Chains A and B, each alone.
Chain A
Amino acid sequence: MKKIVLIEDDESIRDSLLIILKRAGYEVSEYQNGNSLLNGDFERADLYLIDKQLSGVDGLDICKYIKSYEDMRDVPIIIISASPELEKYVKAAGADNFIEKPFSKKRLLELIEKYLSALGFFYLAARLSVV
Protein backbone atom coordinates (compact mmCIF):
# COMPACT_ATOMS: atom_id res chain seq x y z
CA MET A 1 0.00 0.00 0.00
CA LYS A 2 1.41 3.40 -1.01
CA LYS A 3 1.83 5.86 1.80
CA ILE A 4 1.00 9.57 1.66
CA VAL A 5 1.95 12.18 4.25
CA LEU A 6 -0.65 14.93 4.37
CA ILE A 7 0.26 18.24 6.01
CA GLU A 8 -2.72 20.59 6.21
CA ASP A 9 -3.76 22.97 8.98
CA ASP A 10 -7.39 23.48 7.97
CA GLU A 11 -9.25 20.77 9.83
CA SER A 12 -12.07 20.30 7.32
CA ILE A 13 -9.71 20.01 4.37
CA ARG A 14 -7.43 17.63 6.26
CA ASP A 15 -10.35 15.49 7.39
CA SER A 16 -12.05 15.31 3.99
CA LEU A 17 -8.79 14.62 2.14
CA LEU A 18 -7.94 11.91 4.64
CA ILE A 19 -11.24 10.12 3.87
CA ILE A 20 -10.78 10.52 0.12
CA LEU A 21 -7.20 9.23 0.14
CA LYS A 22 -7.99 6.29 2.43
CA ARG A 23 -10.99 5.33 0.31
CA ALA A 24 -8.74 5.46 -2.75
CA GLY A 25 -6.58 2.82 -1.09
CA TYR A 26 -3.69 4.85 0.27
CA GLU A 27 -2.19 4.71 3.72
CA VAL A 28 -2.23 8.23 5.10
CA SER A 29 -0.40 10.02 7.92
CA GLU A 30 -1.84 13.39 8.73
CA TYR A 31 -0.15 16.40 10.29
CA GLN A 32 -1.43 19.85 11.20
CA ASN A 33 1.92 21.44 10.51
CA GLY A 34 5.47 20.56 9.61
CA ASN A 35 6.96 21.07 13.08
CA SER A 36 7.58 17.43 13.99
CA LEU A 37 8.96 16.73 10.54
CA LEU A 38 11.35 19.66 10.77
CA ASN A 39 12.36 18.55 14.28
CA GLY A 40 13.75 15.37 12.88
CA ASP A 41 10.72 13.11 13.24
CA PHE A 42 10.98 12.39 9.58
CA GLU A 43 8.25 10.15 8.30
CA ARG A 44 9.05 8.50 5.01
CA ALA A 45 6.31 8.32 2.46
CA ASP A 46 5.76 7.64 -1.23
CA LEU A 47 4.25 11.08 -1.71
CA TYR A 48 3.87 14.28 0.32
CA LEU A 49 0.76 16.43 -0.01
CA ILE A 50 1.44 19.78 1.67
CA ASP A 51 -0.68 22.89 2.02
CA LYS A 52 1.29 25.99 1.19
CA GLN A 53 -0.24 28.33 3.72
CA LEU A 54 0.36 26.59 7.02
CA SER A 55 0.35 28.31 10.35
CA GLY A 56 3.96 28.31 11.44
CA VAL A 57 6.46 27.09 8.89
CA ASP A 58 5.31 27.63 5.31
CA GLY A 59 4.54 24.58 3.16
CA LEU A 60 7.17 25.55 0.62
CA ASP A 61 9.86 25.66 3.31
CA ILE A 62 8.88 22.15 4.39
CA CYS A 63 9.12 21.13 0.76
CA LYS A 64 12.61 22.63 0.44
CA TYR A 65 13.65 20.89 3.64
CA ILE A 66 12.48 17.47 2.44
CA LYS A 67 14.07 17.95 -0.95
CA SER A 68 17.35 18.95 0.69
CA TYR A 69 17.88 15.26 1.51
CA GLU A 70 19.67 13.51 -1.31
CA ASP A 71 17.58 10.34 -0.93
CA MET A 72 14.29 12.29 -0.83
CA ARG A 73 14.70 14.11 -4.14
CA ASP A 74 12.80 11.45 -6.06
CA VAL A 75 9.84 11.43 -3.68
CA PRO A 76 7.07 13.46 -5.23
CA ILE A 77 5.71 16.49 -3.38
CA ILE A 78 2.42 18.11 -4.35
CA ILE A 79 1.60 21.52 -2.93
CA ILE A 80 -2.00 22.51 -2.21
CA SER A 81 -2.06 26.08 -3.35
CA ALA A 82 -4.04 29.09 -2.36
CA SER A 83 -2.58 31.88 -4.42
CA PRO A 84 -2.47 32.33 -8.16
CA GLU A 85 1.17 33.35 -8.43
CA LEU A 86 2.23 30.16 -6.71
CA GLU A 87 3.45 28.14 -9.67
CA LYS A 88 6.88 29.73 -9.91
CA TYR A 89 7.45 29.50 -6.14
CA VAL A 90 6.37 25.88 -6.14
CA LYS A 91 8.94 25.06 -8.79
CA ALA A 92 11.59 27.11 -7.01
CA ALA A 93 10.95 25.12 -3.83
CA GLY A 94 11.52 21.90 -5.73
CA ALA A 95 7.95 20.62 -5.54
CA ASP A 96 6.80 18.34 -8.32
CA ASN A 97 3.36 19.79 -8.83
CA PHE A 98 0.61 21.83 -7.28
CA ILE A 99 -3.16 21.77 -7.09
CA GLU A 100 -5.19 24.90 -6.66
CA LYS A 101 -8.20 25.14 -4.36
CA PRO A 102 -11.02 24.56 -5.03
CA PHE A 103 -10.35 21.21 -6.71
CA SER A 104 -12.41 18.10 -7.30
CA LYS A 105 -11.71 14.68 -5.84
CA LYS A 106 -11.15 13.43 -9.37
CA ARG A 107 -8.43 15.96 -10.12
CA LEU A 108 -6.63 15.33 -6.87
CA LEU A 109 -6.64 11.57 -7.28
CA GLU A 110 -5.57 11.81 -10.92
CA LEU A 111 -2.65 14.02 -9.95
CA ILE A 112 -1.54 11.65 -7.19
CA GLU A 113 -2.02 8.66 -9.46
CA LYS A 114 0.25 10.32 -12.01
CA TYR A 115 3.12 10.02 -9.55
CA LEU A 116 2.26 6.82 -7.72
CA SER A 117 1.05 4.54 -10.48
CA ALA A 118 3.45 2.45 -12.55
CA LEU A 119 3.50 5.36 -14.96
CA GLY A 120 4.90 7.54 -12.21
CA PHE A 121 8.24 5.94 -12.88
CA PHE A 122 8.31 7.49 -16.33
CA TYR A 123 7.46 10.94 -15.04
CA LEU A 124 10.23 10.57 -12.55
CA ALA A 125 12.68 9.36 -15.17
CA ALA A 126 11.72 12.28 -17.41
CA ARG A 127 12.21 14.73 -14.56
CA LEU A 128 15.56 13.31 -13.58
CA SER A 129 16.85 13.36 -17.13
CA VAL A 130 15.98 17.07 -17.28
CA VAL A 131 17.74 17.72 -13.99
Chain B
Amino acid sequence: MIENGQQVRLLTDSISDFAILTADKHGIINGWNRGAEKVFGYSEEEVIGKPTRILYTPEDLETGVVEKEIAQVLASGWAEDERWHLRKDGSRFYASGIVNSLKEGNEGFVKIARDMTMNKIIEQQKDDFIMVASHELRTPVTSIKAYTEILHDMLLEQNDKQPVELITKLSGQVDRLTALVNELLDTSKITQGLMPLKREQIDINRLISDCIDNLRTLQPNQNLVTELGEVPEISADKERIIQVLNNLLSNAVKYSPQGGDIIVRTGTVGENVEVSVRDSGIGMSAETISKLYQRFYRSSDPKVKTFPGLGLGLYISHEIIKAHGGTLKADSREGEGSVFLLRLPVTPIPPAK
Protein backbone atom coordinates (compact mmCIF):
# COMPACT_ATOMS: atom_id res chain seq x y z
CA MET B 1 0.00 0.00 0.00
CA ILE B 2 2.72 2.45 0.98
CA GLU B 3 4.73 1.58 -2.11
CA ASN B 4 1.68 2.21 -4.20
CA GLY B 5 1.22 5.60 -2.56
CA GLN B 6 4.85 6.52 -3.19
CA GLN B 7 4.45 5.58 -6.81
CA VAL B 8 1.44 7.83 -7.18
CA ARG B 9 3.41 10.60 -5.47
CA LEU B 10 6.33 10.16 -7.88
CA LEU B 11 3.93 10.19 -10.79
CA THR B 12 2.09 13.35 -9.78
CA ASP B 13 5.28 15.17 -8.83
CA SER B 14 6.82 14.43 -12.19
CA ILE B 15 4.04 16.43 -13.83
CA SER B 16 5.43 19.85 -13.08
CA ASP B 17 3.38 21.91 -15.57
CA PHE B 18 0.06 20.80 -14.16
CA ALA B 19 -1.12 21.71 -10.71
CA ILE B 20 -2.71 18.64 -9.14
CA LEU B 21 -4.37 19.04 -5.78
CA THR B 22 -6.82 17.01 -3.79
CA ALA B 23 -9.29 18.21 -1.22
CA ASP B 24 -12.01 16.73 0.98
CA LYS B 25 -15.68 17.37 0.43
CA HIS B 26 -15.46 20.59 2.46
CA GLY B 27 -12.74 21.90 0.15
CA ILE B 28 -9.89 21.43 2.65
CA ILE B 29 -6.67 20.73 0.75
CA ASN B 30 -5.08 17.37 1.54
CA GLY B 31 -2.82 16.76 -1.46
CA TRP B 32 -0.52 19.11 -3.39
CA ASN B 33 1.96 18.16 -6.14
CA ARG B 34 5.11 19.94 -7.26
CA GLY B 35 3.23 21.39 -10.26
CA ALA B 36 0.79 23.03 -7.85
CA GLU B 37 3.74 24.54 -5.95
CA LYS B 38 5.06 25.95 -9.21
CA VAL B 39 1.72 27.20 -10.54
CA PHE B 40 0.22 28.59 -7.29
CA GLY B 41 3.46 29.49 -5.48
CA TYR B 42 2.51 27.82 -2.19
CA SER B 43 4.64 25.00 -0.73
CA GLU B 44 2.91 21.82 0.34
CA GLU B 45 3.35 22.64 4.06
CA GLU B 46 1.71 26.02 3.54
CA VAL B 47 -1.52 24.73 2.04
CA ILE B 48 -2.29 21.34 3.53
CA GLY B 49 -5.26 21.81 5.82
CA LYS B 50 -6.18 25.15 4.24
CA PRO B 51 -9.41 25.66 2.24
CA THR B 52 -9.19 25.82 -1.58
CA ARG B 53 -10.84 29.26 -1.23
CA ILE B 54 -7.37 30.79 -0.79
CA LEU B 55 -6.74 30.01 -4.48
CA TYR B 56 -9.72 32.00 -5.81
CA THR B 57 -10.17 35.66 -6.71
CA PRO B 58 -12.31 37.87 -4.42
CA GLU B 59 -14.89 38.23 -7.25
CA ASP B 60 -15.31 34.46 -7.50
CA LEU B 61 -15.48 34.09 -3.71
CA GLU B 62 -18.19 36.71 -3.57
CA THR B 63 -20.35 35.05 -6.22
CA GLY B 64 -20.07 31.64 -4.58
CA VAL B 65 -18.06 30.04 -7.38
CA VAL B 66 -16.13 27.79 -4.95
CA GLU B 67 -19.23 26.35 -3.30
CA LYS B 68 -20.92 25.87 -6.68
CA GLU B 69 -17.88 24.07 -8.06
CA ILE B 70 -17.65 21.69 -5.07
CA ALA B 71 -21.39 21.02 -5.15
CA GLN B 72 -21.26 20.29 -8.88
CA VAL B 73 -18.29 17.94 -8.55
CA LEU B 74 -19.83 16.01 -5.67
CA ALA B 75 -23.16 15.77 -7.49
CA SER B 76 -22.05 15.02 -11.05
CA GLY B 77 -18.47 13.86 -10.54
CA TRP B 78 -17.03 16.55 -12.80
CA ALA B 79 -16.61 20.30 -13.24
CA GLU B 80 -14.75 22.56 -15.59
CA ASP B 81 -12.14 24.91 -14.19
CA GLU B 82 -11.69 27.83 -16.58
CA ARG B 83 -11.08 30.93 -14.54
CA TRP B 84 -8.63 33.36 -13.02
CA HIS B 85 -6.94 32.03 -9.89
CA LEU B 86 -4.81 33.70 -7.25
CA ARG B 87 -1.15 32.89 -6.60
CA LYS B 88 0.45 33.16 -3.18
CA ASP B 89 1.92 36.58 -4.05
CA GLY B 90 -1.54 37.88 -4.98
CA SER B 91 -0.91 37.85 -8.75
CA ARG B 92 -3.43 36.18 -11.02
CA PHE B 93 -3.19 33.50 -13.66
CA TYR B 94 -5.78 32.07 -16.01
CA ALA B 95 -6.29 28.40 -15.25
CA SER B 96 -7.69 25.83 -17.59
CA GLY B 97 -8.43 22.45 -16.11
CA ILE B 98 -10.90 20.01 -14.68
CA VAL B 99 -12.16 18.95 -11.30
CA ASN B 100 -13.05 15.29 -10.71
CA SER B 101 -14.63 13.67 -7.68
CA LEU B 102 -12.69 11.06 -5.73
CA LYS B 103 -14.98 8.17 -5.08
CA GLU B 104 -12.67 6.08 -2.92
CA GLY B 105 -12.17 6.66 0.79
CA ASN B 106 -13.43 9.99 2.03
CA GLU B 107 -15.50 11.88 -0.49
CA GLY B 108 -13.48 14.65 -2.00
CA PHE B 109 -12.10 15.81 -5.31
CA VAL B 110 -8.98 16.27 -7.40
CA LYS B 111 -8.34 19.47 -9.31
CA ILE B 112 -5.95 19.47 -12.24
CA ALA B 113 -5.14 22.87 -13.72
CA ARG B 114 -2.69 24.46 -16.05
CA ASP B 115 -1.53 28.06 -16.30
CA MET B 116 -2.99 29.30 -19.59
CA THR B 117 -2.46 33.02 -18.97
CA MET B 118 -0.33 33.51 -22.07
CA ASN B 119 -2.99 31.94 -24.32
CA LYS B 120 -5.68 34.02 -22.66
CA ILE B 121 -3.64 37.21 -23.16
CA ILE B 122 -2.92 36.37 -26.81
CA GLU B 123 -6.61 35.68 -27.40
CA GLN B 124 -7.47 39.02 -25.78
CA GLN B 125 -4.81 40.84 -27.80
CA LYS B 126 -6.19 39.32 -30.99
CA ASP B 127 -9.68 40.58 -30.11
CA ASP B 128 -8.28 44.00 -29.19
CA PHE B 129 -6.35 44.16 -32.44
CA ILE B 130 -9.45 43.39 -34.49
CA MET B 131 -11.35 46.05 -32.58
CA VAL B 132 -8.72 48.79 -32.92
CA ALA B 133 -7.95 47.97 -36.56
CA SER B 134 -11.58 47.92 -37.60
CA HIS B 135 -12.36 51.13 -35.71
CA GLU B 136 -9.40 52.94 -37.20
CA LEU B 137 -10.23 51.71 -40.70
CA ARG B 138 -13.80 52.88 -40.68
CA THR B 139 -13.03 56.60 -40.84
CA PRO B 140 -10.79 56.55 -43.96
CA VAL B 141 -13.11 54.01 -45.59
CA THR B 142 -16.04 56.35 -45.00
CA SER B 143 -14.37 59.30 -46.67
CA ILE B 144 -12.92 57.23 -49.54
CA LYS B 145 -16.43 55.94 -50.18
CA ALA B 146 -17.86 59.44 -50.00
CA TYR B 147 -15.29 60.92 -52.42
CA THR B 148 -15.81 58.02 -54.84
CA GLU B 149 -19.55 58.54 -54.80
CA ILE B 150 -19.16 62.27 -55.38
CA LEU B 151 -16.81 61.68 -58.34
CA HIS B 152 -19.16 59.08 -59.76
CA ASP B 153 -22.06 61.52 -59.66
CA MET B 154 -20.00 64.36 -61.17
CA LEU B 155 -18.74 62.23 -64.06
CA LEU B 156 -22.23 60.89 -64.72
CA GLU B 157 -23.47 64.47 -65.00
CA GLN B 158 -20.74 65.24 -67.53
CA ASN B 159 -21.73 62.10 -69.43
CA ASP B 160 -18.09 61.16 -69.87
CA LYS B 161 -18.16 57.42 -70.49
CA GLN B 162 -14.63 56.22 -69.89
CA PRO B 163 -14.07 57.87 -66.51
CA VAL B 164 -17.53 56.67 -65.42
CA GLU B 165 -16.50 53.10 -66.20
CA LEU B 166 -13.33 53.49 -64.17
CA ILE B 167 -15.04 55.10 -61.25
CA THR B 168 -17.68 52.34 -61.28
CA LYS B 169 -14.87 49.81 -60.96
CA LEU B 170 -13.33 51.87 -58.17
CA SER B 171 -16.70 52.01 -56.43
CA GLY B 172 -16.92 48.23 -56.60
CA GLN B 173 -13.56 47.89 -54.88
CA VAL B 174 -14.48 50.48 -52.25
CA ASP B 175 -17.65 48.50 -51.53
CA ARG B 176 -15.54 45.39 -51.16
CA LEU B 177 -13.23 47.18 -48.74
CA THR B 178 -16.24 48.50 -46.82
CA ALA B 179 -17.66 44.99 -46.59
CA LEU B 180 -14.36 43.70 -45.17
CA VAL B 181 -14.24 46.46 -42.56
CA ASN B 182 -17.87 45.74 -41.67
CA GLU B 183 -17.06 42.05 -41.20
CA LEU B 184 -14.24 42.96 -38.84
CA LEU B 185 -16.49 45.38 -36.98
CA ASP B 186 -19.25 42.78 -36.63
CA THR B 187 -16.72 40.28 -35.34
CA SER B 188 -15.48 42.79 -32.83
CA LYS B 189 -19.04 43.52 -31.73
CA ILE B 190 -19.75 39.81 -31.28
CA THR B 191 -16.63 39.12 -29.22
CA GLN B 192 -17.46 42.10 -27.00
CA GLY B 193 -21.07 41.00 -26.71
CA LEU B 194 -22.27 44.22 -28.29
CA MET B 195 -24.57 43.20 -31.10
CA PRO B 196 -28.04 44.35 -30.08
CA LEU B 197 -30.98 43.11 -32.16
CA LYS B 198 -33.61 45.53 -33.43
CA ARG B 199 -36.53 43.14 -33.53
CA GLU B 200 -39.63 43.71 -35.63
CA GLN B 201 -42.22 41.45 -37.25
CA ILE B 202 -40.77 40.22 -40.53
CA ASP B 203 -42.03 38.15 -43.42
CA ILE B 204 -39.06 35.95 -44.25
CA ASN B 205 -40.45 34.93 -47.67
CA ARG B 206 -40.56 38.58 -48.64
CA LEU B 207 -36.95 39.11 -47.55
CA ILE B 208 -35.84 36.03 -49.48
CA SER B 209 -37.65 37.20 -52.63
CA ASP B 210 -35.97 40.61 -52.36
CA CYS B 211 -32.53 39.04 -51.88
CA ILE B 212 -33.10 36.66 -54.79
CA ASP B 213 -34.26 39.49 -57.08
CA ASN B 214 -31.15 41.41 -56.20
CA LEU B 215 -28.96 38.38 -56.82
CA ARG B 216 -30.63 37.68 -60.21
CA THR B 217 -29.52 41.04 -61.50
CA LEU B 218 -25.96 40.34 -60.35
CA GLN B 219 -25.85 36.68 -61.40
CA PRO B 220 -28.15 36.29 -64.40
CA ASN B 221 -26.63 32.91 -65.34
CA GLN B 222 -27.35 31.19 -62.07
CA ASN B 223 -30.48 29.10 -61.83
CA LEU B 224 -32.15 30.39 -58.68
CA VAL B 225 -35.18 28.38 -57.64
CA THR B 226 -37.49 29.33 -54.76
CA GLU B 227 -40.05 27.04 -53.16
CA LEU B 228 -41.51 29.26 -50.52
CA GLY B 229 -44.05 27.66 -48.19
CA GLU B 230 -46.61 29.42 -46.07
CA VAL B 231 -44.82 30.65 -42.97
CA PRO B 232 -45.86 32.92 -40.09
CA GLU B 233 -44.19 36.27 -39.48
CA ILE B 234 -41.31 36.15 -37.04
CA SER B 235 -39.85 38.64 -34.60
CA ALA B 236 -36.32 39.31 -35.81
CA ASP B 237 -33.78 41.97 -36.76
CA LYS B 238 -34.58 42.59 -40.42
CA GLU B 239 -31.19 43.99 -41.48
CA ARG B 240 -29.31 41.21 -39.70
CA ILE B 241 -31.50 38.48 -41.24
CA ILE B 242 -30.98 40.01 -44.70
CA GLN B 243 -27.23 39.92 -43.95
CA VAL B 244 -27.46 36.18 -43.15
CA LEU B 245 -29.59 35.42 -46.23
CA ASN B 246 -27.18 37.32 -48.49
CA ASN B 247 -24.24 35.48 -46.94
CA LEU B 248 -25.85 32.05 -47.51
CA LEU B 249 -26.97 32.94 -51.03
CA SER B 250 -23.64 34.42 -52.09
CA ASN B 251 -21.84 31.35 -50.71
CA ALA B 252 -24.20 29.11 -52.69
CA VAL B 253 -23.43 31.07 -55.86
CA LYS B 254 -19.69 31.00 -55.20
CA TYR B 255 -19.53 27.25 -54.72
CA SER B 256 -21.98 26.21 -57.45
CA PRO B 257 -20.93 25.73 -61.06
CA GLN B 258 -22.05 28.35 -63.60
CA GLY B 259 -25.72 27.78 -64.34
CA GLY B 260 -26.02 25.29 -61.48
CA ASP B 261 -29.20 25.11 -59.40
CA ILE B 262 -29.57 26.97 -56.15
CA ILE B 263 -32.75 26.02 -54.35
CA VAL B 264 -34.21 28.07 -51.51
CA ARG B 265 -37.09 26.59 -49.55
CA THR B 266 -39.07 27.80 -46.58
CA GLY B 267 -41.42 25.96 -44.27
CA THR B 268 -42.50 25.52 -40.70
CA VAL B 269 -40.96 22.97 -38.36
CA GLY B 270 -42.63 22.88 -34.95
CA GLU B 271 -42.46 26.39 -33.52
CA ASN B 272 -39.79 27.41 -36.01
CA VAL B 273 -39.59 28.85 -39.46
CA GLU B 274 -37.05 26.95 -41.51
CA VAL B 275 -35.11 28.22 -44.50
CA SER B 276 -32.92 25.91 -46.54
CA VAL B 277 -30.39 27.00 -49.14
CA ARG B 278 -29.12 24.20 -51.34
CA ASP B 279 -26.25 24.60 -53.77
CA SER B 280 -24.96 22.35 -56.52
CA GLY B 281 -21.30 22.53 -55.61
CA ILE B 282 -18.86 19.78 -54.80
CA GLY B 283 -20.00 19.49 -51.18
CA MET B 284 -18.05 19.57 -47.96
CA SER B 285 -16.34 16.99 -45.80
CA ALA B 286 -17.51 16.41 -42.22
CA GLU B 287 -14.28 18.05 -41.06
CA THR B 288 -14.99 21.20 -43.06
CA ILE B 289 -18.55 21.34 -41.70
CA SER B 290 -17.25 21.13 -38.14
CA LYS B 291 -15.04 24.17 -38.72
CA LEU B 292 -17.39 26.33 -40.82
CA TYR B 293 -18.41 28.68 -38.03
CA GLN B 294 -14.95 29.33 -36.67
CA ARG B 295 -13.56 32.81 -36.99
CA PHE B 296 -11.19 33.22 -39.95
CA TYR B 297 -11.78 29.65 -41.16
CA ARG B 298 -10.79 29.12 -44.78
CA SER B 299 -10.95 25.76 -46.50
CA SER B 300 -7.52 24.27 -47.15
CA ASP B 301 -8.89 21.54 -49.42
CA PRO B 302 -7.09 21.83 -52.78
CA LYS B 303 -10.24 20.63 -54.59
CA VAL B 304 -12.21 23.58 -53.24
CA LYS B 305 -12.27 26.71 -55.33
CA THR B 306 -11.31 29.48 -52.92
CA PHE B 307 -12.40 33.09 -52.90
CA PRO B 308 -10.73 36.11 -51.34
CA GLY B 309 -12.11 37.07 -47.97
CA LEU B 310 -11.51 36.97 -44.26
CA GLY B 311 -13.40 33.79 -43.43
CA LEU B 312 -15.85 35.65 -41.21
CA GLY B 313 -19.14 35.48 -43.14
CA LEU B 314 -20.49 32.22 -41.74
CA TYR B 315 -19.10 32.95 -38.28
CA ILE B 316 -21.10 36.21 -38.23
CA SER B 317 -24.23 34.57 -39.69
CA HIS B 318 -24.06 31.78 -37.10
CA GLU B 319 -23.72 34.32 -34.27
CA ILE B 320 -26.64 36.39 -35.60
CA ILE B 321 -28.88 33.34 -35.72
CA LYS B 322 -27.74 32.23 -32.25
CA ALA B 323 -28.58 35.70 -30.90
CA HIS B 324 -32.12 35.20 -32.28
CA GLY B 325 -32.40 31.89 -30.42
CA GLY B 326 -32.27 29.98 -33.70
CA THR B 327 -29.93 27.47 -35.29
CA LEU B 328 -27.84 27.35 -38.45
CA LYS B 329 -26.65 23.95 -39.61
CA ALA B 330 -24.96 22.60 -42.70
CA ASP B 331 -25.42 19.21 -44.26
CA SER B 332 -23.44 17.91 -47.17
CA ARG B 333 -22.06 14.89 -48.88
CA GLU B 334 -18.94 15.36 -50.91
CA GLY B 335 -19.90 15.47 -54.56
CA GLU B 336 -23.56 16.16 -53.87
CA GLY B 337 -23.66 19.83 -52.95
CA SER B 338 -24.41 21.38 -49.59
CA VAL B 339 -27.52 22.54 -47.84
CA PHE B 340 -27.65 25.18 -45.13
CA LEU B 341 -30.60 24.92 -42.76
CA LEU B 342 -31.65 27.98 -40.88
CA ARG B 343 -34.26 27.79 -38.12
CA LEU B 344 -35.72 30.79 -36.34
CA PRO B 345 -38.28 30.58 -33.55
CA VAL B 346 -41.64 32.18 -34.36
CA THR B 347 -41.82 33.68 -30.86
CA PRO B 348 -38.51 35.03 -29.61
CA ILE B 349 -36.71 33.03 -26.98
CA PRO B 350 -33.59 34.15 -25.16
CA PRO B 351 -30.39 32.98 -26.86
CA ALA B 352 -28.73 29.84 -25.54
CA LYS B 353 -25.53 30.54 -23.65
Contacts and interface: CB of A to CB of B under 8 A. Distances in A.
A85 B138 CA distance: 16
Interface stretch (A35-43, A67-75, A102-110, A120-128): A102-110
Nearest to A17: B146
A102 B178 contact: yes
Contact of B142 (A23, A85, A102): A102
A82 B153 contact: no
Interface string B148-192: 011001000000000000000000000000100110010011001
A16 B195 contact: no
Nearest to A12: B143
Interface in A9-24: 10, 12-13, 15-17, 19-20, 23
B196 interface: yes
B153 A13 contact: no
A86 to B, nearest CB: 10
A20 B143 CA distance: 11
A111 B77 CA distance: 58
B139 A23 contact: no
A85 B194 contact: yes
A84 interface: yes
A37 B189 CA distance: 33
A13 B185 contact: no
Given A23-B153, A101-B139, A84 B195 contact: yes
Interface residues of A, number: 19
Contact of B149 (A12, A82, A83, A104): A104
Nearest to B139: A10
Interface string B184-208: 0100110010111000000000000
A10 B181 CA distance: 18
A16 B178 contact: no
A87 interface: yes
Contacts of A105: 145-146, 149-150
A82 B195 CA distance: 14
A106 to B, nearest CB: 8
Given A84-B185, A102-B181, A12 B140 contact: yes
Most buried by B among A12, A83, A84: A84
B135 to A, nearest CB: 6
A87 B149 contact: no
A82 B150 contact: no
Given A12-B143, A16-B143, A87-B196, A101 B150 contact: no
Contacts of B192: 84
Contact of B189 (A16, A84, A102, A103): A84
A12 B139 CA distance: 9
B182 A83 contact: no
Given A20-B149, A87-B196, A105-B149, A82 B185 contact: no
Contacts of A82: 135, 138-139
B48 interface: no
B196 A83 contact: no
A20 B138 contact: no
A103 B196 CA distance: 19
Contact of A102 (B145, B150, B188, B194): B145
A87 B189 CA distance: 13
B139 A20 contact: no
Interface string B104-148: 000000000000000000000000000000010011111101110
Nearest to B154: A23
Interface string A78-109: 00001111010000000000000111110000
12 contacts: A12-B143, A13-B139, A15-B143, A16-B142, A19-B146, A19-B150, A20-B146, A84-B189, A84-B194, A101-B142, A104-B149, A105-B150
Given A19-B150, A82-B138, A82-B139, 17 more contacts: A10-B139, A12-B140, A12-B147, A13-B139, A15-B143, A19-B146, A20-B150, A84-B189, A84-B195, A85-B194, A87-B196, A101-B139, A101-B141, A101-B142, A102-B182, A104-B149, A105-B146
Identify the 3 closest CB pairs spanning chains A and B, nearest first. A16-B146, A12-B143, A102-B142
Interface of B: 135, 138-143, 145-147, 149-150, 153, 178, 181-182, 185, 188-189, 192, 194-196
